[in-house]
């Protein structure tokens, strides 16, 4: 997310930059700004890979902006929560993509080995289910933290 704000009344021009909804940066571009009032934003969802329209309200006074640079205390608990949220989203996406790959592989190793137009039988469905279980069981064991052997 990029958020650019120019405030003629407060005489400031600044930008807020946020990466992965985790890392936030505030950049003071001008503390004696005399241009037009501006407010531009750009948001992009990396997971869905599309531009987003968001209503961002981020208004700082010149005093607040200056104080943000003087008081450099980092709220670690807040930052840790943002990182945890990001990691959870990334892990869910990774798991979902991996499951999709396992399903594709199961189809390839079972139903897709037959010529196009073949009528699907109960035996072929059973073969697909067996192949899917063969592919997905190790993934599920790892996900559940199972350390023993599976058959």
User: Whose CA is closest to 139, among 107, 109, 94?
Assistant: 94
Element (H, E) at 16: strand 12-19
- Residue range 39-67: mean pLDDT, rounded: 82
Reported confidence tier of residue 143, pLDDT bands at 50, 70, 90: confident
Please tell me the least confidently modeled range out of 66-80, 96-110, 132-146. 66-80
Average the pLDDT over 116-135 and give the result: 90
How far the first Cα of the chain sits from its last, in Å, is: 47
Residue 148, φ and ψ in degrees, nearest 5 = -75, 180
Three-state DSSP at 38 gives: strand
């Amino acid at each position: 997310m990029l958020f650019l704000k120019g405030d003629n009344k407060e005489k400031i021009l600044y930008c807020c930059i946020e990466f992965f909804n985790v890392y936030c940066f505030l950049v003071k571009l001008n503390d004696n700004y005399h241009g037009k009032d501006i407010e531009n934003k750009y948001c992009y969802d990396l997971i869905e890979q599309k531009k987003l329209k968001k209503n961002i309200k981020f208004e700082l006074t010149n005093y607040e902006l200056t104080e943000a640079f003087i008081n450099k205390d980092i709220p670690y608990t807040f930052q840790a929560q943002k990182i945890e949220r990001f990691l959870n989203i990334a892990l869910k996406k990774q798991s979902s993509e991996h499951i999709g790959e396992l399903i594709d592989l199961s189809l390839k190793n079972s139903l897709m080995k037959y010529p196009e137009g073949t009528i699907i039988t109960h035996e072929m469905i059973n073969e697909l289910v067996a192949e899917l279980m063969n592919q997905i069981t190790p993934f599920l064991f790892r996900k559940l933290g199972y350390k023993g052997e599976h058959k």
